Amino acid sequence: MKTFKIADCIVQLLLIFGALFINLVLKPGTVDESFFMSYFLVGSWQIISLIVHLFFPGEYKVELRRLYSILLLLTAVVFLIGLFSSGLLINVLFGLLYWSPLLAILYLITCILEIKKLTTVVS
């Protein structure tokens, strides 16, 4: 479990900083497939990680994980509601450009805190 959590954090850091490097250094000011792919890769990895963590014992989780899960669920509900109106969907997608990175940072912080908690409990 500890190995997975450490690998999870490393992959998240690589994906987040890799996306920042590509989109801000290599291709500044351009919005192309690499921009959207970075959102998709980071988000997909974090959702897979969230699902895997459902099977971990509760004593190794922090309360921030529950907050993240609730915010992710609310985000999905807002997105689904947005599917009923094209105007609303455009606004939701625009909002997600700013909301998604905040969720990604929140999830990374959650995982880092859980590694610290796991290290403290195991030691």
Q: Which pLDDT value is given to residue 47?
A: 93
Question: What's the DSSP call for residue 85?
Answer: -
Give 67-71's long-range contacts (Cβ < 8 A, gap of 24+): 67/106, 68/103, 68/106, 68/107, 68/110, 71/103, 71/106
* pLDDT tens track, the chain, 123 positions: 788 999 999 999 999 999 999 888 888 777 788 888 998 999 999 999 999 999 988 888 899 999 999 999 999 999 999 999 999 999 999 999 999 999 999 999 999 999 998 888 665
Domain count of the fold of the chain: 1
Q: Which pLDDT value is given to residue 59?
A: 84
Q: Which pLDDT value is given to residue 69?
A: 94
- Residue numbers of the domain that contains 66: 2-122
pTM for the whole structure: 0.87
Alpha-carbon dihedral of residues 48, 24, 113, 6, nearest 10 degrees?
Answer: 60
Q: Which pLDDT value is given to residue 123?
A: 59
In sequence order, the 6+-apart residues with CB closer than 8 A to the CB of 9 are 108, 111, 112, 115
